[in-house]
Amino acid sequence: MKKNILSSDNSIQDIIYDIRGAKVMLDYDLASMYEVDVSQLKRQVRRNIDRFYV
């Protein structure tokens, strides 16, 4: 069973990192938040790249 990243003691701010001035989230954390496999998340990002980058 997958661990839900947004349990009562965690918040989204805890999984957002500031890397070289850009706020990012790790693919593992995003997949956990949406309760999907990392491979499925990456496949959707590849198919919809314009939605993920500004």
Residues 6+ apart with CB under 8 A from 42: 27
Q: 17 and 23 in contact (C-beta within 8 Å)?
A: yes
Sequence spans of domains, the chain: 12-52
pLDDT at 54 (0 to 100)? 64
pLDDT at 52 (0 to 100)? 78
pLDDT at 5 (0 to 100)? 54
pLDDT at 8 (0 to 100)? 46
| pLDDT-flagged residues of the chain (< 50) | 1, 8
pLDDT at 7 (0 to 100)? 56
CA distance 46 to 39: 11
pLDDT at 53 (0 to 100)? 76
Nearest to 15 by CA among 28, 23, 25: 25
